[in-house]
Each structure stands twice: as C-alpha cells, then as structure tokens.
C-alpha cells in the first residue's frame, strides 16, 4: 500500500539525515525520538483513516449480504406460493447483488489488510519509542563517559607537553652549569698565571716591615754570624 511505503521512506529518511549530521550523539538521540514521535502522530492519523475505510467497506458488504439473504428468502416464499415468475425476479436481483458482493468483498479484504498493516506499524512504532526512551538514559550515560574520557585524553596530552618543557629546562640548566664551570676554570687559570709572574716573585723577597729586619739581625748575632 502506498501509505505504508511512504511512511517507511519517511522514517528511513529521518534516520539517514540524523546519521549524516552525527555531530553531537546526545542531541541526535533526542532529535531521533522527536522524529519518531512526529512519525507516530502521522501514522495514527493514517491508521485511523484506513480503519475507517475498513469499517465502511465492512458495512457496505454486510448490507449487501443482508439484501442477498433477504432476496433469497423472498424467492423461496414465492416458490412456496407457486409464483415462479416472482421468484425468478427475486433471484435475478439477487444475482446482480452477488456480482456487487464480490467487488465489495475484494474492497473489504484490501481495506482490512491495509488496516492490519497500519495497526502493526503503529504498534511497532509505539513499542520502539518506548524501548528507545528506556535506552536513552543509558545512551546518554555512555556519551557522558566518552566525553569525560576525551577530556582526560586532552589533559594527558597537555601533561605530556609539560614533560617536554621540563626536559627543555633541564637542558638549559645543564648548559648554564657548563658555562659556570668554564668561567670558574678560567678564573682559576688566570689566578695561577698571576702567581708565577716576576713581580709576584719580587714581592716574595721584599722586606715588608723594619721589625722583621731587627728580628733577623738578632738571630744572626745569636748564631755568631
């Protein structure tokens, strides 16, 4: 039936459209359920319309069957009364209604089949919505955990970057230590050079105080020198 195929296409299109726009799964699941609720409203309207067609076809078929039964009874009464001509007229009218009855039966069968399919679709959609509503909280919980994990991953990447910075600082500090060691070594070499100069040797033998000369003369006198 056209209406059933159309609604299947609508619901399929809704799903595909959402999958194509899968940017935020949490929003997507809410929108998907809203779409299903909207589809359910349309299905209810169409189901009610198809069921009305089924009921109308049933009433027409029942009315035709009742007329056929009535004509059959009148034909039998006419035969009992010995009026074959009247019975023939009743039977001719009955045959006309039998032809109509076949068409009405086909119409009713089709309407009943359509109504049954629409009811099945309606009931399945109601059940799906109920099931998805029950699963929505679980899905959202998973999404929340996934987002938290993404945050942890980003922070972990930042921490790894900080470790690289610390490593860079270690290299800088090592270079500073090397520069300091080299400067200290150079200062030591410079000092050693100054200790061995002639001027420094002169200072070694220069009398720095008269008291020292007096003490030296006393030592020599005592030794008879």
Greater confidence, 100 or 126?
A: 100
Class of the 1-163 domain? Answer: mainly alpha
Q: In the prediction, which pLDDT does 180 show?
A: 80
Least confident of 67-81, 87-101, 187-201: 187-201
Q: Distance between CA atoms of 39 and 129, rounded to whole angstroms?
A: 11
H/E/C letters for each residue in the chain? CHHHHHHHHHHHHHHHHHHHCCCCHHHHHHHHHHHHHHHHHHHHHHHHHHHHHHHHHHHHHHHHHHHHHHHHHHHHHHHHCCCHHHHHHHHHHHHHHHHHHHHHHHHHHHHHHHHHHHHHHHHHHHHHHHHHHHHHHHHHHHHHHHHHHHHHHHHHHHHHHHHHHHHHHHHHHHHHHHHHHHHHHHHHHHHHHHHCCHHHHHHHHCCCCHHHHHHHHHHHHHCCC
Greater confidence, 212 or 184?
A: 184
Over range 114-118, report the average pLDDT. Answer: 90
Q: In the prediction, which pLDDT does 204 show?
A: 57
Would you say residue 123 has pLDDT above 70?
yes
Handedness of CA 19, 24, 25, 29 (dihedral sign): negative
Over range 67-83, report the average pLDDT. Answer: 94
Q: In the prediction, which pLDDT does 1 show?
A: 46
Greater confidence, 54 or 208?
A: 54
Over range 84-98, report the average pLDDT. Answer: 94
Q: In the prediction, which pLDDT does 202 show?
A: 58
Least confident of 30-39, 47-56, 78-87, 210-219: 210-219
CA distances from 45 to 34, 42, 111, 130 (A): 17, 5, 16, 19
> Where in the chain are the domains?
1-163, 166-224
């Amino acid at each position: 039936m056209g209406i059933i195929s159309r609604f299947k296409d609508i619901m399929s299109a809704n799903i595909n459209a959402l999958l194509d726009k899968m940017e935020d799964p949490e929003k997507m699941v809410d929108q998907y359920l809203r779409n299903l609720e909207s589809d359910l409203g349309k299905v209810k309207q169409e189901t009610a319309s198809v069921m009305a067609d089924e009921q109308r076809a049933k009433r027409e078929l029942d009315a035709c069957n009742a007329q056929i039964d009535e004509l059959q009874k009148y034909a039998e009464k006419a035969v009992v009364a010995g009026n074959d001509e009247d019975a023939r007229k009743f039977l001719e009218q009955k045959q006309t209604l039998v032809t109509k009855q076949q068409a009405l039966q086909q119409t009713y069968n089709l309407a009943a089949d359509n109504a049954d399919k629409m009811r099945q679709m309606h009931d399945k959609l109601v059940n799906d919505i109920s099931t998805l509503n029950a699963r929505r909280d679980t899905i959202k919980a998973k999404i929340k955990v996934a987002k938290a994990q993404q945050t942890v991953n980003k922070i972990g990447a930042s921490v790894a970057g900080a470790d690289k910075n610390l490593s860079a600082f270690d290299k800088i500090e090592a270079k500073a230590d090397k520069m300091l060691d080299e400067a200290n070594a150079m200062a030591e070499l410079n000092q050693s050079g100054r200790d061995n100069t002639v001027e420094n040797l002169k200072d070694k033998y220069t009398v720095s105080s008269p008291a020292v000369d007096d003490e030296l003369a006393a030592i020599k006198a005592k030794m008879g020198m």
